[in-house]
Structure 1
């Protein structure tokens, strides 16, 4: 667990190497081992010159045991645990002997807290290693003294990005920031530097234990910081909308802790940590954003018996925004990419757009020029289908028109490698229908990217009825290869994300049709944590495209002998397009005005005259619940119909695909957050008041339970 050895200089090396784990984590076994090691150091203190703390793993220390944290229910036992842990670290830093940490890889969360309890920090110069506090992204705060020590090390203002945003940096950047003292070129160099420092500094002491210590950057009530400290809570609330308790708890622990002595600051931090760790939001975020995300990254949603594969040559049909975006992210991962359009000029324009984006990153210092050049070399524009010869994967990314997609896919299919697969980037058209144009439908699949491709992490993989397991596995592996997060769904109209996304937008338009003020609708959506209001989203999508999709859906259903009823949103869209020629952002006018001088957009003032109804009012909570419940209920329908096979894909897809609030843990976890029975009661009330779209599936309770694929 912790190997204890002493050298000829009487320097003890504590090497952390937790058995059965690929990384070191701060769990009960580690806490016991560290307590025993520190007790031994205290017993042998008079015979010691100093201590080197390092890791026996390839990396240093990953942080807390999240399985342990997510199971915490009792506040008293939680507080006792963190207080005991902090007491051991406090004894280590007050050993009166120099303690040096040799960081041989990433030090995240509890790993950085452990490092900060040492007097001197040396890190191996590995640009891939990360140092920082990611706790805020999981609804927590550093609970082993990390808040207190980092504030006293960097100061209240400088530490904010690390604690409030979860900023992670390389070892070199950590030295520049002041988190780490020195870099080492090798493991041997790191240990040699540690030995040299110990022998040169026989009396180990932390800066904050010196009587002359002053907080870097000034105290919280100083003239320099007080204005910032006073406005910070309001700025934070504007970002979190009060839905994320962790950033506010961190800020409070920072400021309150900075105004008392070190040991009382630790107590303040411990109480805020306990409040978060025993709360439901942290459990939601840890369960989905860590464990379920980890399952997806490890391939839990792909067929397990299929060997892993890589794409070496990729074909893309369509060099517009989506096609060029897919080409850019693929070339960035070293994949030779053929970018085809119906004319060479259009294909080259697609590559030029990619080049402009890369050059911008180079100018901003975010990308080395030689890296940008290598990526551009991998993108080959063409107008000839024959250039797809030997492609492992060809993705069609043309306009949402069934006939066009069928034509280009059929032409390209014959160029695939012997084991290659064909894919469509469609966001709405059923894969089973598109597969009819393909000679080998078992080698056809949907790979739905989100816009903008370079920024959106999620990719929705859609299985058709005839899609083979090999095709699914190869598509899944490609998405992981380009650094994206795949979810797997079965084919249906709108699939999963587009269906749920449409339910959110339509709910907003329904509210507008009811006569509610547009600003109230937008703010209600933002207040629950949606990144953008439904009217703003509709403008981004374009009202023309929404009407086109609705017309295509109507035609398809009628061809199948099924009826189609237009939603309340259809009348709003028709009025905006036909009577006022407002098609959305791309057209320069939609529900919002887009000033030509580039100033901030604002809601079109005429909306209240056109759709407002005097005297119409609803409790704000009704609007908030309608946005959250309609999306969760539509997700349940996707599960009931077999579109979704796991709550894992539902939760990750809803958060990263459509912006469902992360504090809920996702569209399915939100039901557990509310409580299954309470959710059913509230849904019934919404159904009675606003319509059958809030009706729960018959097997509602069964859908909220863990499934075989989870």
Structure 2
């Protein structure tokens, strides 16, 4: 027995290795595990009494996940020595190759999640059997974090299921269920839950000579073919490369490395192929891009979801009965996810027709999930029964949390806030779902502002992962804890910010849209603006996203900000565009089928409205693509930096998470603060100074950025994967 692996051998000579990494809720691959596994392989190889091996998990959480964060940081400890890094990352490949060539049959008993390095361990076994649990997921999601599989996954998966299927799953980080695993030939059997270990032992006992992998047998051929002279193999890469470029815009490096590892490795024997994989894995691991993506998309995201910003002194405060004010699209979405989390929800609106319409929308969403097979009818009916339409504020009695999502008007919000307090009392926590209105102002309608908090959801609520929690000037710890506990219940990712007009996400997102709109006003080709937005790594161009959220909404926000700031308001070139599009041309965005784009009534593909160039005349001298790209990027970066300097953000981690999951900031960067670190703060300041001289003070660097550039400070430590 070792610290992380329990070793047992039965009367038939079958050794069971039960992985139970101490101090971890889920088995992960770390230095201790690798050392323990290697020593047990030595022991088994030298012991003639061992006839076969079964690998299982000792944890209820699942079989195994990927590499431990500390182990990954240790791999990078050698600095710029790429040869040393290669040897360190090759340890896992070397170990798994020893396992599959040990001369004894090896079976893997999977109960629960089996992901990343854990799935690569399973692929190195001669037989894979899983307990039947519909929640179990398998796969290699490394590309989603800027990495590639580093334990033989790029070589074993295509050798088992074929190149095209393997590439599709690995490039997309696509996970799959047990039934798909059987079809893909990545699993050999699925048995009743809890019996995988017994089934694995039975297979080993019945197959003492099944100790060679298919690729180690003479005459093996990759399913579908492989090799530079194989037409099908070449065709796969002819298709995969342009598709990868379209998806990544050459911004993210992991997918290209993965394609190279698969292409080269499948033309080599396994012993050489895994060295090719480790070469490319070391290359992407050494890239700051991967470290930034892992830190934000995995480490800091998980920390936020586990309560990194939650006050430790406040007892757990889960919500049992939610008062949901407003049955519009946002309110219904919140009500639906709350009901799915097991809460009773009172869905209140001005009349029963509106409240019932909201519940009907939730019913349609649930029905769509039933049709897809992700939810059964009985469960859907139970969820729907938890949503109670209402029009009388008295129906809110007994609710322990309130979320308001009524029209974005301070007067209307104040009216419903007072009516709720008359029923529930000021000790109930009140959350306002608003994207721009200052929480300190709204809290004035609640007699105990310490119990008032902003809770900003994103549309569509059912699919958007982020919730922005806003602390008003007087918001207390109890309110913050309640909001974060609610977000944990509905399984979303929170960030916590301080009060400000537009808060963090809306304020910074608006700069991307606003800069694109300003460039249109300047006569820059709209197609150039849109293409550079996508090439930057944003999901869509700034004009397209303005259509999606509604140009009319942008106009209303601009007008409300102008009214609130009075003489302090600074108009921009974008203001004229918004007024002309909405007031003069009645082009309000996708919702009325007419915006910066035309939306065919037959559902055909949208296209840029040809009239844009008639109303916003193209300039004779067009900027370069890189100039447009820089403006769209740096306008966002400087606003994020201002939010940190002004105290809207308390930490860059919240800024990076909020940017990627809130408004779709380029995920390959790890977020705006990680990106500024990787660009170099000095470089960022120089670029901003140049842009400010050309386009105005909105690009002027903050004092904090100038100080960081002068002192060499960064937002994050140089090589850390954690904040």
User: Is 2:20 the partner of 1:20?
Assistant: no
Name the counterpart of 1:431: 439
Match of 1:52 in 2: 54
Q: CA deviation at 1:416?
A: 2.5
Greater CA drift, 146-155 or 264-273: 264-273
Determine the C-alpha separation between the residues in 1 that align with 2:131 and 2:6: 20
Corresponding residue for residue 509 of structure 2: 501
- Equivalents in 1 of 2:322, 2:288: separation in Å? 44
Q: Deviations over 1:57-105 (max 9, x none)?
A: 3332221123332461432122112323322221221122111112233
* Residue 132 of structure 2 corresponds to residue 129 of structure 1: no
Which position in structure 2 is the counterpart of 1:214? Answer: 221
Residue 471 (structure 1) aligned with residue 479 (structure 2): yes
CA distance in 2, matches of 1:466, 1:519: 46
Aligned partners of 2:372 and 2:134: how far apart in 1? 19
Q: 8 Å contact 1:11–1:195 — kept in the other structure?
A: yes
Relative to 1, partners in 2 of residues 1:300 and 1:84: Cα closer, same or farther, differing over 3 Å?
closer
Instruction: Give the direction of change, closer, same or farther, for the CA distance of 1:231–1:455 in structure 2 (3 Å limit).
Output: same
Q: Residue 209 of structure 1: CA displacement?
A: 1.1
Residue 512 in 1 paired to residue 520 in 2?
yes
CA apart distance, 1:225: 4.9
CA contact (8 A) 2:674 2:715 kept: no
With 497-506 and 83-92 compared, the bigger mean Cα shift is at: 83-92
| 1:581-622 residue CA offsets vs partner (Å, 9 max, x unmatched) | 212111221111111111111111011122133422222222
**Do the aligned partners of 1:444 and 1:467 also contact (CA within 8 Å) in 2?**
yes
SS of the aligned residue for 1:414 comes to helix
Which residue does 1:407 correspond to in 2? 415
User: How far apart are the structure 2 equivalents of 1:320 and 1:557?
Assistant: 29
Q: Is it true that 1:705 corresponds to 2:711 in the alignment?
A: no
Describe the SS at the equivalent of 2:544: helix
1:446 aligns with 2:454: yes
**Hey, what's the Cα distance between the residues in 2 that align with 1:403 and 1:456?**
28
Distance 1:369 1:554, change over 3 A: same
Q: Distance in 2 between matches of 1:663 and 1:596?
A: 35
Uncovered stretches (5+) of structure 1, i.e. residues with no partner: none
8 Å CA contact 2:30–2:70 kept in 1: the answer is no
The match for 2:42 among 35, 39, 44 is: 39
1:249 and 2:286 are equivalent in the alignment: no
Deviations 1:245-273 (CA, angstroms, capped at 9, x unpaired): 11222122223222222222212211111
Question: How far 1:340 sits from its partner (Å)?
Answer: 1.2
Instruction: Tell me if the contact between 2:426 and 2:451 (Cα under 8 Å) persists in the aligned partners.
Output: no
**TM-aligned CA deviation for residue 675 of structure 1:** 1.1
Deviation at 1:125, TM superposition (A): 2.4
Contact 1:390/1:417 (<8 A) preserved: no
1:370-395 CA-to-partner distances (Å, cap 9, x unmatched) read 22211111111111111111111121
SS of residue in 1 equivalent to 2:324: strand
Quick one: which of 133, 142, 145 aligns to 1:138? 145
Show CA shifts across 1:281-316 (max 9, x none).
Answer: 101101111111121011011211111111111111
What are the superposed Cα offsets for residues 640-668 of structure 1, whole Å, 9 maximum, x if unpaired?
A: 11111111111100100011111111111
Q: What residue in structure 2 maps to residue 62 of structure 1?
A: 65
Other-structure match for 2:598: 593
1:446–1:463 Cα contact (<8 Å) kept: yes
Distance 1:70 1:406 in 2: 50
Q: Distance in 1 between matches of 2:533 and 2:241?
A: 22
Q: Does the CA-based 8 Å contact 2:674-2:716 persist in structure 1?
A: no
Partner SS, residue 277 of structure 1 = helix
1:571 aligned onto 2:571: no
RMSD over equivalenced CA pairs, Å: 1.9
Aligned equivalent of 2:82, options 51, 75, 83:
75
Residue equivalent to 1:545: 553
Does residue 311 of the first structure (1) align with residue 319 of the second (2)? Answer: yes
Does the 8 Å contact 1:125/1:172 carry over to 2? Answer: no
Q: TM-score, normalization: structure 2?
A: 0.94
2:126: which partner in 1? 119
Partner of 1:179: 186
Which deviates further from its counterpart, 102-111 or 600-609?
102-111
Per-residue CA deviations over 1:414-455 (Å, capped at 9, x if unaligned) read 222785211111111111111111222221111111111111
1:394–1:416 Cα contact (<8 Å) kept: no
SS of equivalent residue, structure 2 residue 88: helix
For 1:391, what is the secondary structure of its paired residue? Answer: coil
C-alpha separation between the residues in 2 aligned to 1:691 and 1:458? 32
Query: Aligned partners of 1:433, 1:399: CA distance in 2, in Å?
Result: 16
Q: Is the 8 A contact 1:547 1:570 kept in 2?
A: yes
TM-score by length of 1: 0.96
Shift of 1:704: 4.5
1:118 to 1:594, Cα distance in 2 relative to 1, 3 A: same
Unaligned runs of 5+ in 2: none
Task: Find the aligned partners of 2:69 and 2:250 in 1 and give their Cα distance.
Answer: 24
Counterpart CA distance in 2 for 1:555 and 1:191 is 68
Q: Give 3-state SS (helix, strand or coil) of 2:63's partner.
A: coil
Residues of 2 paired with 1:534 and 1:115: CA distance? Answer: 44
What SS does the aligned partner of 2:473 have?
A: coil
Q: Is residue 515–residue 616 contact of structure 1 (8 Å, CA) maintained in 2?
A: no
Q: Is this contact kept in 2: 1:70–1:283, CA < 8 A?
A: no
Determine if the alignment matches structure 1 residue 192 to structure 2 residue 194: no
Deviates more, 1:421-430 or 1:62-71: 62-71
- 1:100 pairs, out of 86, 103, 107, with 107
Distance 1:705 1:218 in 2: 48
> Secondary structure of the equivalent of 1:644?
coil
In the alignment, the residues of structure 2 paired with residue 668 and residue 191 of structure 1 have an alpha-carbon distance, to the nearest angstrom, of 46
Change (3 A) 1:418 1:172: farther
Partner in structure 1 of residue 532 of structure 2: 524
**CA distances 1:513-569 after superposition (whole Å, capped 9, x unpaired):** 1211000001001001001111111112222222222221122223xxx52121110
CA gap 1:52/1:691 in 2 versus in 1, 3 angstroms: same
Any idea what the Cα deviations from partners look like across 1:620-653, whole Å, max 9, x if unmatched?
2221121121112101111111111111111100
Query: Do the aligned residues in 2 keep the contact of 1:680 with 1:696 (CA within 8 Å)?
Result: yes
* Residues 92, 151 of structure 2: 8 Å contact kept: yes
How far does residue 14 in structure 1 lie from its aligned partner after superposition? 1.9
Partner-residue secondary structure (3-state), 2:494: strand
